[in-house]
């Protein structure tokens, strides 16, 4: 049937508008300024024309090959969030309701000077004056300027309390206790550093890092919202529970042994160090922090925070932590340790999953441009234009020794089991009972766990999984995990029986999914001569009173390739 003149005109006009609209969106996706969600809209249009389709939960599937599950924020979804369970905070930036123009991240000119981050204890008076000047200027900027200190501090509040939803989902976005922990913080301090340098006209300016993992760097520097008993020259406690009367020398010995566990023996697999695999949507959420995030990261946040505030603010809560300048030096050191860990494994444990590499966030740069970066952009610090001044790593050689000779310890364990004695606790249950009912961690809990012994493959790691951890209340929670513990007076990271720790700051914008704690123990079991035993004893030792608000679903052994 022939079309009349009016219908021909309508058809041609519609086709022209569709082409122009697509071309316009394509131009927005070029290297010029873009707008959030324009790229998604283009893909939806092209999907209809080229056979692309929307997969489950509205996730775009390209050519039917793979549904992308990368995580990213819906920047117009900002809403008040809870900094503490009793405190609603609004960290949303001005004008967030409308999409804002952005540019995709571009690496700095490789010919520009490399920014060298130095340990805080090694900087000189001139550097301190320069840093102080930059901070003073930043703090003088009005709140509507995204380079201002208040807006910089709010970034952590926004992304760490669930103030943003994910794109294409009403699931909250959070970067703690997942594999996004390291890359998100890397980019936050990257832009913060460049803004500070631009405010004083110094393109070589670099943040210091607080080298709390070595003896020379164990003291902190000053801020008003701090625990006054932890001000310099107090030695930092990397496995902080409560204040002790240890000498600086003893504290440093414990710190070094603890760092060995968190960086070496307990972090021999990517998931153990980086955190769990976090995918888009509610079903993709995970809650499994890596070794360094648990402690020293969480432990030092709590150690630094003021005991006079309900949540040990500033540093003791995620919503307020970045108000303390030490936050940036603290995370610079964590960022450095990510590089140290990669170097130790010759980068063989890097994540290749495209859902991690394609996850993205937005930050303002020193030129007031909103920049979108992908996680894949941040895996090479040299390409980002900065590096770290090397320091000695004494913890690399601090492999702990068993508290008792292994043969004697195993015989004592067998005797206790035979006589049905309690294992250092008021509660002695089997792992099957624990799995079935769950238990409150109101006292030391020792369980017998099947070792599932078999001849493990060369690249496998034995892992203790404390699963289904549920934390109620809003206090700092910490318990330690030991293997084949004999003597309750020898409980320290200095002894080989120590397998790891659970150090938890409530909040962080995470969902309600229970937490899984995974601890690599292949080396621990080898040193205890228990790697071929049919079963081992695992002790969960509460170290904070708040553990009475913690329940545990169970304990099991797994293998990770």
Question: Over the chain, what is the mean pLDDT?
Answer: 86
Residues acting as catalytic residues: 156, 176, 185, 297, 301, 318, 331
Instruction: For residue 422, give the H/E element and its range.
Output: none
Going by pLDDT thresholds of 50, 70 and 90, the confidence category of residue 347 is confident
Mean pLDDT of 45-63: 32
Least confident of 224-238, 280-294, 489-503, 545-559: 224-238
Express each pLDDT in 6-21 by its tens digit.
555 455 444 544 444 4
Q: Strand ranges (DSSP E) for 401-549?
A: 427-430, 439-440, 445-450, 461-471, 477-483, 498-504, 515-520, 535-542
Going by pLDDT thresholds of 50, 70 and 90, the confidence category of residue 340 is very high
pLDDT of residue 50: 30
Domains within the chain, CATH numbers bracketed: 73-397 (1.10.1280.10), 406-560 (2.60.310)
Choose between 55 and 438: higher pLDDT: 438
Mean pLDDT of 502-510: 84
pLDDT of residue 343: 94
Q: Is 60 exceeded by the pLDDT of residue 26?
A: no
Mean pLDDT of 513-521: 95
Express each pLDDT in 76-97 by its tens digit.
999 999 999 899 999 999 999 9
Mean pLDDT of 164-186: 95
Q: Is 70 exceeded by the pLDDT of residue 192?
A: yes
Q: Encode 439-473 in three state secondary structure.
A: EECCCCEEEEEECCCCCCCCCCEEEEEEEEEEECC
Q: Cβ neighbours of residue 75 under 8 Å, at least 6 residues apart?
A: 36, 96, 99, 100, 164, 362
- Could you tell me the two tokens for 85? 């369970």
How remote is the C-alpha of 201 from its chain's centroid? Answer: 32
55 burial level (CB within 10 Å; 0-12, 13-18, 19+): middle
Q: Is 90 exceeded by the pLDDT of residue 2?
A: no
pLDDT of residue 510: 59
pLDDT of residue 479: 97
Q: Is 70 exceeded by the pLDDT of residue 3?
A: no
Task: Look up the pTM and report it.
Answer: 0.87
Count of CB atoms situated within 10 Å of the CB of 62: 15
* Distances from the Cα of 91 to the Cα of 77, 151, 161, 320, angstroms: 12, 8, 10, 10
Going by pLDDT thresholds of 50, 70 and 90, the confidence category of residue 223 is confident
Choose between 513 and 292: higher pLDDT: 292
pLDDT of residue 68: 80
Within 13 Å, how many C-alpha atoms sit on residue 181's CB side? 31
Helix, strand, coil percent content, the chain, rounded in steps of 5: 35, 20, 45
Mean pLDDT of 277-282: 95
Express each pLDDT in 438-464 by its tens digit.
788 988 998 899 886 666 667 899 999
Q: Is 90 exceeded by the pLDDT of residue 414?
A: no
Choose between 130 and 411: higher pLDDT: 130
Choose between 59 and 545: higher pLDDT: 545
Give the span between the Cα atoms of 471 and 462, in whole angstroms: 26
pLDDT of residue 247: 94
Choose between 337 and 428: higher pLDDT: 337
Going by pLDDT thresholds of 50, 70 and 90, the confidence category of residue 221 is low
pLDDT of residue 427: 44
């Amino acid at each position: 049937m022939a079309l009349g003149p009016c219908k021909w005109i309508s058809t041609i006009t519609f086709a022209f508008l569709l082409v122009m609209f697509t071309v316009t969106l394509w131009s927005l996706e070029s290297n010029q300024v873009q707008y959030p969600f324009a790229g998604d809209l283009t893909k939806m249009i092209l999907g209809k024309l080229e056979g692309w389709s929307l997969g489950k939960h509205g996730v775009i599937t390209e050519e039917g090959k793979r549904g992308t599950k990368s995580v990213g924020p819906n920047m117009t979804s900002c809403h008040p969030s809870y900094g503490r369970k009793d405190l609603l905070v609004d960290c949303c930036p001005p004008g967030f309701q409308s999409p804002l123009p952005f540019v995709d991240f571009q690496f700095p000119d490789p010919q520009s000077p490399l920014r060298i981050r130095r340990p805080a204890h090694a900087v000189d008076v001139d550097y301190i004056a320069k840093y102080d000047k930059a901070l003073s200027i930043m703090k003088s900027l009005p709140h509507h300027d995204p380079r201002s200190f208040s807006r910089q501090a709010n970034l952590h509040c926004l992304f760490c309390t669930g103030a943003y939803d994910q794109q294409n989902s009403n699931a909250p976005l959070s970067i703690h206790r997942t594999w996004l922990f390291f890359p998100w913080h890397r980019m936050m301090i990257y832009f913060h550093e460049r803004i500070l340098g631009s405010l004083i006209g110094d393109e070589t300016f670099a943040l210091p890092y607080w080298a709390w993992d070595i003896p020379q760097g164990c003291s902190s520097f000053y801020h008003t919202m701090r625990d006054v008993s932890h001000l310099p020259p107090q030695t930092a406690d990397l496995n902080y529970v409560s204040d002790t009367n240890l000498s600086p020398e003893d504290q440093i010995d414990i710190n070094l042994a603890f760092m060995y566990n968190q960086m070496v023996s307990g972090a021999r697999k990517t998931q153990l160090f980086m955190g769990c695999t976090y995918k888009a949507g509610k079903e993709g959420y995970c809650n499994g922090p890596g070794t360094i995030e648990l402690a020293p990261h969480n432990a030092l946040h709590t150690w630094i925070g003021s005991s006079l505030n309900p949540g040990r603010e500033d540093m003791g809560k995620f919503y307020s932590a970045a108000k303390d300048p030490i936050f940036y030096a603290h995370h610079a050191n964590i960022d450095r340790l990510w590089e140290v860990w990669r170097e130790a494994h010759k980068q063989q444990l890097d994540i290749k999953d495209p859902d991690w590499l394609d996850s993205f966030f937005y930050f303002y740069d020193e030129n007031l441009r909103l920049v979108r970066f992908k996680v894949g952009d941040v895996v090479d610090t040299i390409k980002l234009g900065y590096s770290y001044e090397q320091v000695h790593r004494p913890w690399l050689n601090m492999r702990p020794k068993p508290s008792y000779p292994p043969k004697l310890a195993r015989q004592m364990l067998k005797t206790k089991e035979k006589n049905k004695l309690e294992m250092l606790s008021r509660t002695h249950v089997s792992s099957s009972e624990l799995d079935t009912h769950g238990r409150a961690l109101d006292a030391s809990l020792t369980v017998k766990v099947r070792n599932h012994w078999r001849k493990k493959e060369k690249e496998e790691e034995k892992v203790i999984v404390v699963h289904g951890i549920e934390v109620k209340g809003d206090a700092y929670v910490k318990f330690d995990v030991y293997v084949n513990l004999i003597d309750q007076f020898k409980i320290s990271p200095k002894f080989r029986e120590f397998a790891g720790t659970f150090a938890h700051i409530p909040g962080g914008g995470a969902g309600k999914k229970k937490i899984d704690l995974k601890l690599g123990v292949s080396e621990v079991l080898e040193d205890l001569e228990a790697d071929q035993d049919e079963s081992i004893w695992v002790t969960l030792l509460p170290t904070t009173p708040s553990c009475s608000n913690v329940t545990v679903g169970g304990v099991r052994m797994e293998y990770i390739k």
